[in-house]
């Protein structure tokens, strides 16, 4: 998984949008939803939600449930559990079946609608005639804010969970496509976080639908890509080979791709849990060919040869780092989040550049 950050512009667009849209929707939800012994608790919770919307107009707006950092989600959840226990009860209550066999709309679904998640997803920005929008290009104002605008504004092109699939966003008058938005904390269990910006993670379909689904990512066992503690250094891809031909990248089947975690670090344990849900170690066995390719490149472009290339083409590269990016297919300026397998390539490159890697790749010891 790759660490993500949100820009102030995204926070601001989300803030203005919700402040404008939510008061009427929450007020309707407060009036229309009724269920005997729960109605009072429901009204009280709607008042609390409205307070969170009002907070968006104050100087400490980042404390509102909609903009708070992922590190604050647990405290908010505990608050709701302690002060609005009947709401948790309602969310967890099994839904009844109707006569036609379909399920009744759950309280969680009513709340998601009241917070506008469906509207946010269904809405599409209106492009200027003949215009097409790609990632990083779309700059919607508050009226145009929606899932498309959000994903495009993040500038993300690769799934942050697996770093091995492109997430494509494109919008024009004729066509539109966008990746999934994963609710890190599932919206069915935590509907009050359904429009919290740090709970909305753009991701590929395999990670979101096939692996994660509605799995409850509990607060202390999993790590959100937006958390500050989520550092790329918490894990490292590595490889084992045991023969000269392996070192030369000629025996893919004998190469073992592994993931090393920082053993002392509690956050690394959470990252390991995430990776197990997304089957990262298993899926990366498909990319042993990339490791072999890098090993072969390392053999061919050894230090001496790279020195010659740098001298010969000095006008082409700013420095050795830039040359290595080209020769080894590394992410430009370390931007691993937007480079397919960027983290894998970076780790393998660093491994064979480390003293340990050099010892291992000392081919004479195999000869
Ligand atoms: Zn993915």
Task: Give the list of residues 6+ apart from residue 167 with CB closer than 8 angstroms, or none.
Answer: 151, 156, 157, 158, 159, 179, 202, 203, 204
pLDDT at 355 over 60: no
pLDDT of residue 249: 66
DSSP string, 344-355: HHHHHHHHHHSH
What integer best gives the mean pLDDT of the chain? 89
pLDDT of residue 148 exceeding 70: yes
| Alpha-carbon torsion angle 203, 206, 210, 212, nearest 10 | -40
Ligand 1 center from residue 191 Cα (angstroms): 23
User: Ligand 1 centre and the CA of 204: distance in Å?
Assistant: 4
CA angle 210, 153, 113 (to 5 degrees): 60
In angstroms, what is the span from residue 90 Cα to ligand 1's centroid? 32
Give the Å distance between the CA of 205 and the centre of ligand 1: 7
**Cα Dmax for the chain:** 81
Q: Which of 21-30, 47-56, 315-324 has the lowest mean pLDDT?
A: 315-324
Tens-digit pLDDT profile for residues 290-314: 999 998 898 888 888 999 999 999 8
**CA–CA gap between residue 42 and residue 30 (Å, rounded):** 7
Q: How many other CB atoms are there within 10 angstroms of residue 11's CB atom? A: 16
- What percentage of the chain exceeds 70 in pLDDT? 93
Give the start-to-end residue ranges of the domains of the chain: 8-212, 232-366
Predicted pLDDT of residue 364: 45
The secondary element (H helix, E strand) that includes residue 23 is helix 8-32
CA 214 to centroid of ligand 1, rounded, Å: 16
Residue 2 Cα to ligand 1 midpoint, Å, equals 11
| Chain CA centroid to CA 344, Å | 17
Closest to 199 measured CA to CA, from 110, 72, 95, 84: 72
What band does 207 get if pLDDT is binned at 50, 70 and 90? very high
pLDDT of residue 352: 82
Q: Which residues touch 51 (CB under 8 Å, ≥6 apart)?
A: none
């Amino acid at each position: 998984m790759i660490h993500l950050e949100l820009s102030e512009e995204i926070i601001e667009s989300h803030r203005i949008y919700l402040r404008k849209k939510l008061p009427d929707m929450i007020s309707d939800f407060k009036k229309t939803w009724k269920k005997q012994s729960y109605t009072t608790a429901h009204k009280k919770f709607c008042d609390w939600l409205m307070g969170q919307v009002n907070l968006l107009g104050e100087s400490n707006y980042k404390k509102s449930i909609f903009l708070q950092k992922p590190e604050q989600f647990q405290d908010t959840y505990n608050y709701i559990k302690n002060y609005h226990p009947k709401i948790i009860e309602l969310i967890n209550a099994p839904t009844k079946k109707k006569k036609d066999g379909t399920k009744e709309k759950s309280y969680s679904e009513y709340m998601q609608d009241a917070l506008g998640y469906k509207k946010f997803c269904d809405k599409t920005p209106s492009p200027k005639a003949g215009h097409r929008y790609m990632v990083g290009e779309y700059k919607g104002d508050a009226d145009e804010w929606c899932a498309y605008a959000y994903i495009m504004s993040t500038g993300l092109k690769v799934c942050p969970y697996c770093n091995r699939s492109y997430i494509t966003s494109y919008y024009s008058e004729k066509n539109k496509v966008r990746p999934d938005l994963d609710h890190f904390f599932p919206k069915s269990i935590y509907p009050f976080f359904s429009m919290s910006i740090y709970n909305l993670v753009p991701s590929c379909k395999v990670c979101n639908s096939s692996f994660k689904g509605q799995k409850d990512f509990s607060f202390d066992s999993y790590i959100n890509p937006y958390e500050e503690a989520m550092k790329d250094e918490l894990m490292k891809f590595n490889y084992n080979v045991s023969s000269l031909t392996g070192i030369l990248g000629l025996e893919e089947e004998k190469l073992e791709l592994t993931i090393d975690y920082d053993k002392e670090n509690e956050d690394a344990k959470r990252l390991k849990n995430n990776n197990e849900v997304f089957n990262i170690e298993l899926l990366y066995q498909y990319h042993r060919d990339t490791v072999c390719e890098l090993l072969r490149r390392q053999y061919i472009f050894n230090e001496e040869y790279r020195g010659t290339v740098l001298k010969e083409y000095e006008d082409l590269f700013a420095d050795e780092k830039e040359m290595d990016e080209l020769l080894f297919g590394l992410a430009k300026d370390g931007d691993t989040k937007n480079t397919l397998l960027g983290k894998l390539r970076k780790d393998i490159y660093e491994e064979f550049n480390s003293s340990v890697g050099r010892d291992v790749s000392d081919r004479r010891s195999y000869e």
